């Protein structure tokens, strides 16, 4: 059965699970982790569209510079977005 190009989580996946998904599911282009307790997003730097809205545990987004569309609304732990200069659509507030 083919995997659609996007996935919405209703639970908080582990960092290892996220890394495995992105590595093995090369067609995965959209990940919605909004309002989960995810903290480590370092493996998600090549995802096209990433929704982290309300993920208060996320602090380091330096690996997400290649993401095309990134939603960080409500990510209160993020204080430095200087590495996100190449992000085309960035939502902070």
Q: Which helix or strand (DSSP H or E) is residue 89 part of? A: strand 89-91
Task: Give the domain ranges of the chain.
Answer: 6-91
Which DSSP string corresponds to 20-72? HHHHH-TT--EEE-TTS-----GGGTT-SEEE-TT-TT----GGGTT-SEEE-
* pLDDT tens profile 20-75: 877 776 667 889 999 999 999 998 998 999 999 999 999 999 999 999 999 999 99
- pLDDT-derived band at 5 (thresholds 50, 70, 90) equals low
| CA 46 to each of CA 29, 31, 39, 76, 93: distance values in angstroms, whole numbers, following the listed order | 8, 11, 17, 23, 23
């Amino acid at each position: 059965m083919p995997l659609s190009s996007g996935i919405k989580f209703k639970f908080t996946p582990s960092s290892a699970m996220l890394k495995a998904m992105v590595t093995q599911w090369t067609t995965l282009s959209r990940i919605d982790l909004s309002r989960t307790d995810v903290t480590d997003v370092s493996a998600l730097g090549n995802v096209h569209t990433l929704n982290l809205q309300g993920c208060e545990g996320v602090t380091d987004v330096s690996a997400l510079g290649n993401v095309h569309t990134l939603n960080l609304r409500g990510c209160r732990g993020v204080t430095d977005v200087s590495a996100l200069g190449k992000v085309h659509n960035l939502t902070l507030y």
